[in-house]
Structure 1
Amino acid sequence: MTRKFGEIDIDEKKILFMPEGLPGFPGFERFVLLEDPKSAPFCWLQSMEEPNLALVMMSPFIFMPDYEIDLEGFIASRGWKGIEKKDLLVYVVVNISKGEDGRKITSNLIGPIIINSKNNEAIQVIVSNSSYSYQHNVLEQP
């Protein structure tokens, strides 16, 4: 059962394991990535343990094609053998709120979530690029 999608069947092979959980949400390690074509480019990282825990996410490359993250270094640090950059999915958590002049959409470029599509392991990492923000305005691109 999910708050946004109601009752849904999840293929066990699609369940993501986050061994380190998510900062601020201790104890939750099993998630699924839910996509709805009507909501593209947004998707949801839905907790399998808590129906009310779902984070809106999107690929940072949609609004920032030159977004930089050291995926090779990340692969090495995780000890993932046989994994290449193309096997990883990169998402950023998005906050959608009402601003003074309409909708405001911000993203956390400092803490992307990396998903290994080969073993369904996911982790939120910290990017050391000091020009990135945890409240990057998606709608105001240079």
Structure 2
Amino acid sequence: MSATTSVYHFEQGIPGFEHLHHFVFSDLEQELPIKLMQSVDDQEISLLIVNPFFFYPEYEWELSDSAKQELQIQTEQDIEIWSILTMATEPSGATINLLAPLVLNPNQMTGKQLILHDSTYSSRAPLNRT
């Protein structure tokens, strides 16, 4: 990790990794909007994340006031939304977690994984919709 790498703080960790609170996000050299999310606390934990709107332009939900407050979000420019990607043996089997988006505030370097209760979104939505 370089000295210029920015570390995001996740106050509550993320589901399944509640003990991990610090993550870095690295761009990958590809045409798709994809990043590597790596734990600073445990270097062996890393996840691929993607911009969900690239694959699901109609993706929409309401960010709660409590989440806005926790992440210190003032305007729409304070928000980045990402989703965890799950790879399969065959690339066509890759899925995206629309049920639990990652919300980042790049201005405050804070993050949170939300669970969208009462949602029709899936934690394993197909990446390839054709």
Q: Indicate the TM-score class for this superposition, using the shorter chain for normalisation.
A: 0.7 to 0.9
SS across alignment from 1:61: helix
Query: Which residue of structure 1 aligns with residue 111 of structure 2?
Result: 122
SS across alignment from 1:9: coil
Query: Are 1:92 and 1:108, in contact at CA under 8 Å, matched by a contact in 2?
Result: yes
Question: How far 1:127 moved relative to its partner?
Answer: 1.5
Structure 1: stretches of 5+ with no match in the other structure: 1-7
Query: Which residue of structure 2 aligns with residue 47 of structure 1?
Result: 39
- Partners of 2:98 and 2:122 in 1: CA distance: 6
Larger radius of gyration: 1
SS across alignment from 2:53: helix
SS across alignment from 2:89: strand
Query: Which residue of structure 1 aligns with residue 100 of structure 2?
Result: 111
**RMSD of equivalent CA atoms:** 2.0
Amino acid at match of 1:23: P
Structure 2: stretches of 5+ with no match in the other structure: none
Question: How far 1:39 moved relative to its partner?
Answer: 6.3
Question: How far 1:55 moved relative to its partner?
Answer: 0.6
Q: 1:59 aligns with which of 51, 60, 67?
A: 51
What TM-score, normalized to structure 1? 0.80
1:20 aligns with 2:12: yes
